Amino acid sequence: MSKPAGKLTVAFLTLPESTGSTLYGMYDLFASVERDWGLITEGEARASPFRPVTVTAHPGGFRMANGIHVLPDTTITEAGIPDIVCVPELLVPPGADISGRYAQEVDWLRTCYEAGSYLGAACSGALLLAETGLLDGCEATTHWAYCDMLAERYPHVRVERHRALVTAGEGQRIVMVGGGSSWQDLALFLIARCVGLERALQVAKIYLIDWHRAGQQPYTVLTCRAQTEDAAIARCQRWLAENYDHYHPVQEMTRLSGLTVRSFKRRFRQATGMPPIDYVHTLRVEEAKQWLESTGKPVEAVAEAVGYEDASFFSRLFRRKVGLTPAQYRRRFGALGRVLAGEGIPVVEPSD
């Protein structure tokens, strides 16, 4: 399917299990870039740098989960490789097994990513990304009601329950948002990433969009059970969530568990899928991401805040897990979160 020269194609995967509000809400935000700002400030609409299209696996119209009738623009066999693919939510029960249900869509998503596309998932749409295998070994988030399902059915995915937005994969080209209305965050983030922060801010101002910087923690308390059925290990996980900056966390968790060193390490790995020290590093890197996104603290100060005395070691570890140095990560993801949060914190640009 051809596209106008200079346009970035944004394909919205259109599924019967999604809702029209998420699908067309994201569609409208991408379509409004430049267009609405020019109309409001200059009295003349400009052309959007994006070309949004709705894409489905099977031709023809159908009704979506909220009763909206949709006739997608094209099929995945005709769509080619878009610059961005957005997956709306899946309105399925949290315990549903979707394995094999979306085989064509999964293959297409994998092909697009391998060809260089960005992949974005709103809410429970992250389940479809997990089906591709692209999230294996990566951090991910989804709606709080689906976090347990994501963790249980895809054990190689590291579920970040309390984060409203998570990036993953090579070049951080996979973007996931958690809450039902956080598709707005997903669209703003991708707009900023692809055509600049200023344009994303214009959209946010026009639509009066608030950045969901608080995350999902206030909502997950009521529903999320312990991360493991092993009570001793669950107790250690809870302790670590509040004390990740402790200089000897594995030693302290071993003491807290009441187990021998060997038994603790074996049971911890069995419960979480990781050795204790890897779990500590993963949690610390996630906390560091939030520091880098929301503050202008130097990398050395961020390293110390999450428990590393050696900033060089922290930087190497961060790059190995994220694929970017802390400074690169801040340049890509820090400004948007801080500005949309209204904090006005200047960006500190430490050397790589």
H or E element, residue 110:
helix 103-114
Per-residue pLDDT tens digits for 207-223: 887 655 545 443 333 23
- The sign one gets for the Cα dihedral 106, 110, 115, 117 is positive
Residue 337 pLDDT: 55
Q: pLDDT class for 118, splitting at 50, 70, 90?
A: very high
Q: How many domains does the chain have?
A: 2
The answer on pLDDT for 247 being more than 80 is yes
User: Do 197 and 122 share a domain, yes or no?
Assistant: yes
The segment with the largest mean pLDDT, out of 2-11, 313-322, 340-349, is 313-322
Residue 338 pLDDT: 56
Q: What is the percentage of the chain residues whose pLDDT exceeds 70?
A: 87
Provide the residue range defining the domain that includes 184: 8-207
Confirm whether 193 is domain-assigned. yes
Output the average pLDDT for the chain.
Answer: 84
Helix ranges (DSSP H) in 7-102: 20-32, 35-42
User: Do 108 and 194 share a domain, yes or no?
Assistant: yes
Whether pTM > 0.75 for this model: the answer is: no
User: Do 150 and 290 share a domain, yes or no?
Assistant: no
Per the CB < 8 A criterion, the answer to whether 175 and 121 are in contact is yes
User: Do 314 and 274 share a domain, yes or no?
Assistant: yes
Residues 204 and 211: their CA atoms lie apart, in Å, by 9
Question: What are residue 9's DSSP bridge partners?
Answer: 51
Q: pLDDT class for 242, splitting at 50, 70, 90?
A: confident
Confirm whether 347 is domain-assigned. no
Confirm whether 278 is domain-assigned. yes
User: Do 28 and 123 share a domain, yes or no?
Assistant: yes
Residues 130 and 136: their CA atoms lie apart, in Å, by 7
Q: Which comes out higher in pLDDT, residue 181 or 159? A: 159
The answer on pLDDT for 335 being more than 80 is no
Give the residue from 161, 177, 207 where a domain finishes.
207
What's the rounded mean pLDDT across residues 157-174? 85
The answer on pLDDT for 277 being more than 50 is yes
Q: Which comes out higher in pLDDT, residue 352 or 333? A: 333
Per-residue pLDDT tens digits for 21-76: 899 999 999 999 999 988 888 888 899 999 999 999 998 999 998 898 999 999 99
What CATH number does residue 261 fall under?
1.10.10.60
Confirm whether 351 is domain-assigned. no
DSSP for 17-29, please give it: TS-HHHHHHHHHH
- Taking 3-state DSSP, the helix, strand and coil percentages for the chain, each rounded to the nearest 5, stand at 50, 10, 40
Q: pLDDT class for 253, splitting at 50, 70, 90?
A: very high
Confirm whether 49 is domain-assigned. yes
What CATH number does residue 66 fall under?
3.40.50.880
Confirm whether 3 is domain-assigned. no
Confirm whether 52 is domain-assigned. yes
